[in-house]
Amino acid sequence: MAPLMLLDTASLYFRAFYGVPQTLTAPDGTPVNAVRGLLDTIARLVRARRPGALVACLDADWRPAFRVAALPSYKSHRANPDGTEQVPPALAAQVPVITEVLAAAGIATAAAAGFEADDVIATLAARAAAPVEVVTGDRDLFQLVDDEQPVRVLYVARGVARLEVVDERAVIARYQVPARGYAAFAALRGDPSDGLPGVPGVGEKTAAALVRAFGSVPAITAALDAGHGGFPAGSRPKLAAARGYLDAVMAVVEVVRDAPVRPPGGGLPARPPDPAALAALDERWSLGSSLGRMLAALSARPQ
């Protein structure tokens, strides 16, 4: 069965913005490197992976209130004083163009008020009857990997041409924990890019050992409270000192698998549903060969 492909759209357009020269501009001089980079990414993915359906998943809220309430440091270093995300102005100008182009081309999008794209992806993956391929440059979504469904991550941190197909074996090889334990591992180790401090003094090896021994953060805290053994040497006092963090952090690092996401469809169109609107956007933003490559990839798929 052809897979359902779920795009971590912001992750992909951020990477396109920093990876494609800003000399690609519209007639008025506005950079369109993120737009064109994303279209080229979709074209390459469709040609290489031949998905049966594709959904571009979006952040309706990049820093949801329920995560900030649990852990105020969550993404705080990336927030403006008004609470909006720090985004380069040249990229911020391109985000509305991306959503317009996707709509005119017939690429399905999905979002949920109060939730991040990660939650949308997790929810759609949980509902899927087909195999799922999640495309992202962030490791947070490794927690979704499931060989039985299957759900795999196409990890594009080194670029789409060098994407890594992450399955259960790959997660274990890299982190020495199963995919279902990745969120707990990340919580213990910390992730500065998301403002997660982790447990001071607990690095990757100890975090992995704790996950292998106990399976989850609630099981770790229950063992602490009960005075049980089985903790790696020297880790018990560090965990006890971070008890408040441990109680809060899983609400932040675990994705929500039942977010209120409307069914987005996701079937890939052989031709744009609104060719006039797409032609106008092409002329306005000079999407040129990038748009052409994406449309050619879509039309080349067996219908």
Q: Are residues 91 and 216 located together in one domain of the fold?
A: no
Residue 213 has pLDDT above 80, yes or no: yes
The mean pLDDT of the chain is 95
Buried b / exposed e over 71-108, threshold 16 CB at 10 Å, is beebbeeebeeeeeeebeeebebbbebbebbbbbbbbb
Q: Are residues 50 and 97 located together in one domain of the fold?
A: yes
Q: Are residues 52 and 192 located together in one domain of the fold?
A: no
Average pLDDT of the segment spanning 156-169: 94
Strands across the sheet containing 53-57: 108-110, 53-57, 4-8, 132-136, 151-155, 164-166
Token couple for 215: 């399976």
Residue 56: how many CB atoms within 10 A of its CB?
28
Q: Are residues 28 and 46 located together in one domain of the fold?
A: yes
Q: Are residues 198 and 103 located together in one domain of the fold?
A: no
DSSP secondary structure letters along 33-78? HHHHHHHHHHHHHHHHH--SEEEEE--S-SS-HHHHHH-TTTTGGG
pLDDT number for residue 187: 97
Residue 303 has pLDDT above 60, yes or no: no
d(CA 288, CA 70): 45
d(CA 78, CA 115): 17
Asked if 124 contacts 4 with a C-beta cutoff of 8 angstroms, the reply is: yes
pLDDT number for residue 267: 80
Q: Are residues 29 and 121 located together in one domain of the fold?
A: yes
pLDDT number for residue 1: 85
Which CATH number belongs to the domain containing residue 91 in this structure? Answer: 3.40.50.1010
First to last CA, the chain: 14
Average pLDDT of the segment spanning 144-159: 96
What would the pLDDT profile of 260-272 be if each residue is shown by its tens digit? 999 888 788 888 9
Q: Are residues 267 and 199 located together in one domain of the fold?
A: no
Average pLDDT of the segment spanning 162-173: 97
pLDDT number for residue 302: 56
Token couple for 272: 């744009």
Which CATH number belongs to the domain containing residue 248 in this structure? Answer: 1.10.150.20
Q: Are residues 153 and 276 located together in one domain of the fold?
A: yes
Tokens 């995560």 — which residue?
67
d(CA 63, CA 85): 8
Pairing of strands 4-8, 151-155: unpaired
Average pLDDT of the segment spanning 135-148: 97
Average pLDDT of the segment spanning 116-145: 97
d(CA 106, CA 109): 9
Q: Are residues 102 and 116 located together in one domain of the fold?
A: yes
pLDDT number for residue 102: 97
pLDDT number for residue 269: 86
**Entry pTM:** 0.95
| Dihedral class, residue 265 (left if φ above 0, else alpha if ψ from -120 to 50, else beta) | left
Is the torsion defined by CA of 268, 272, 274, 277 positive or negative? positive
Residue 136 pairs in a beta bridge with 155
Q: Are residues 275 and 126 located together in one domain of the fold?
A: yes
Residue 53 has pLDDT above 60, yes or no: yes
Looking at the structure of the chain, the number of domains it has is 2
Pairing of strands 132-136, 4-8: parallel
Give the residue from 198, 297, 285, 177 showing the smallest Cα distance to 248: 198
**pLDDT band at 166; cut points 50, 70, 90:** very high
Q: Are residues 213 and 109 located together in one domain of the fold?
A: no
How many alpha carbons lie under 13 Å from residue 156 in its C-beta half-sphere?
25
SS3 25: strand
Q: Are residues 289 and 247 located together in one domain of the fold?
A: no
Domain that holds residue 200: 179-253
